[in-house]
Structure 1
Amino acid sequence: MNAPLTVAAGQASCVALDVAANVATAARLVRLAADQGAELVVLPELFLTGPELTAVVVEPAKYTVGETDSRLDPLADACADSRTAAVVGAPVWEDGRILVSAHVLGRGGQPVGRYDKQHLTAAERAVGISAGTLGHTVSLDTWRLGVAIGEDVHHAEHARAAARDGCQVYLVGTPLDRPGPPDSLVTERAADNGLYTVLAGPVGSGIWHPEGERLAEAGADPSVAAATLERL
């Protein structure tokens, strides 16, 4: 029941609107994280397309990524080969709506869940992105993990909801076109809710202890920040 969990935040650039190339990079990051002992790796917001949402809205059939999309196969294979779970950002087209989402792949590479971003920026709303309505908790071994995307972390109630749902870790993918939230905000979310926080973005990716200490920081692109979390 008290086994530790080793997690990683992946930091890398993506190729605009090239899903196959970005899946290949995601697979490399999973393998790199696994080499450091990671059992779970978190990747940035919209990692599989980049932030080119206008193009996604114009051609959703081309640029959105479903849970069973065959383009995800190399990433699923990397997860299965290394027994490492992954959270990867991509746009999703569902019921006529386009969502900014995070796909969750289990250790065997199988889809085990999806979270749709709840708090949108003005630019996202302006191009026609829809907001998600439900939070998402991932179970990995005996750990409960809450998923967040970008703007979500700026809303205190989002992390509180994860904590109320029994989460011990808050997994945040941040945008590729601008820096993620400041360290002060990340440590505030961690401390206010007793959560480890894993932040994956273009720069500043890392892992924080619930008391605010940074446990790991990613280096040059591409890289991962990995840390072993002990049950509190």
Structure 2
Amino acid sequence: MTTPPVASAPLPSAPLTVAAVQADPVPGDVPGNARVAAGLAARAAGAGARVAVLPELFLPAYHPPTLAADPAGTDVAATGDGAVDDPRLDPLRAAARDNGITLVVGAAVRHPDGRRTISALVADPTGAIRVGYDKQQLWGGERELFDAGRRGATLLVDDWRLGLGICYDGCFPEHARAAAADGAHGYLCPSGYLAGSAHRRDLYYAARALDNTMYVVFANAVGGADPWRFNGGAAVYDPEGRPLVRGADDGEAVLVATLDPAALAATRSAHSMLADRPADQGLPRTALPA
């Protein structure tokens, strides 16, 4: 098995301001959570953000008992081409359109073939909403409720290429590397990290940034009741894995940072792992006797 070569993608021509959001949605309240998300998006846009990332499964909330008990009420339906036309999400459409911002927000999606996925919806400045990406790496009991996604995805905003991942995807170096191989300049990760996981939360996404010399935008849920209590810490990491902004372990926050193509170029010049990576990366291997 060989890994694909890194795509040759030009660096972006101008900075891009983004927001990583941490917030506490209400389990099962899709219309209420959509209104909250719209307000958070407006806050992000007011601080200059062109892209805002909200947590995993934000619209129904990451609360497995509710997701299991009421799939009809917690899911949004997608068409065959990924469009989502659910009136409960009208506040998101309006927020994206009125503020000229692109929103990435977590949802439970029902596809025409019956699959149910943990997905990242993308609301763009025209007001359209579509399924941007379906989570490929399911964690623990998620496998009892959801189907795994089938492919990666890259979001294009101006001339920035932003790979999409969701939570547990970011624990697999190969996932972010696939985005980098596709020419990504950044990696957006709506997530749901539980209380007690701060060490891993703060390690994985910084590592993915440095592994691939790209920006990482990590959103996370916060609050809730045990055992589904989440620990915030939303952050934007620079291409060396340093946090440009990071939220506290509790409390709602909209964390805004600017992705700078000059910093991206300087990092990739100084740390050329992507360019130096051999296609066969340690294959074949030899077993040595002890």
Q: Find the partner of 1:196 among 198, 206, 215.
A: 215
- Equivalent runs, 1:10-49 vs 2, <5 Å: 10-49=21-60
Higher-strand-fraction structure: 1
Displacement after TM superposition at 1:28 (Å):
0.7
Most deviating of 48-57 and 145-154:
48-57
Alignment of 1:183 with 2:202, yes or no, is yes
Secondary structure, in 3 states, of the residue corresponding to 1:182?
Answer: helix
Q: Find the partner of 2:18 among 7, 14, 33.
A: 7
Aligned partner of 1:105: which letter? Answer: A
Displacement after TM superposition at 1:93 (Å):
1.0
Alignment of 1:103 with 2:106, yes or no, is no
Q: Counterpart in 2 of 1:86? A: 103
Secondary structure, in 3 states, of the residue corresponding to 1:2?
Answer: coil
Displacement after TM superposition at 1:150 (Å):
1.1
Q: Counterpart in 1 of 2:240? A: 211
Q: Extract unaligned runs of 5+ from structure 2.
A: 1-11, 78-83, 223-231, 265-290
Alignment of 1:123 with 2:134, yes or no, is no
Structure number with larger C-alpha Rg: 2
Give the share of equivalent positions with the same residue, in percent.
42
In structure 1, distance between residues paired with 2:97 and 2:22: 21
Q: Extract unaligned runs of 5+ from structure 1.
A: none
The two structures have a TM-score, normalised by structure 2, of 0.76
Displacement after TM superposition at 1:106 (Å):
1.0
Q: Counterpart in 1 of 2:178? A: 161
Q: Find the partner of 2:89 among 61, 66, 72.
A: 72
Q: Counterpart in 1 of 2:156? A: 139
Does the CA-based 8 Å contact 1:191-1:211 persist in structure 2?
Answer: yes
Displacement after TM superposition at 1:56 (Å):
2.9
In structure 2, distance between residues paired with 1:22 and 1:8: 18
In structure 2, distance between residues paired with 1:182 and 1:48: 22
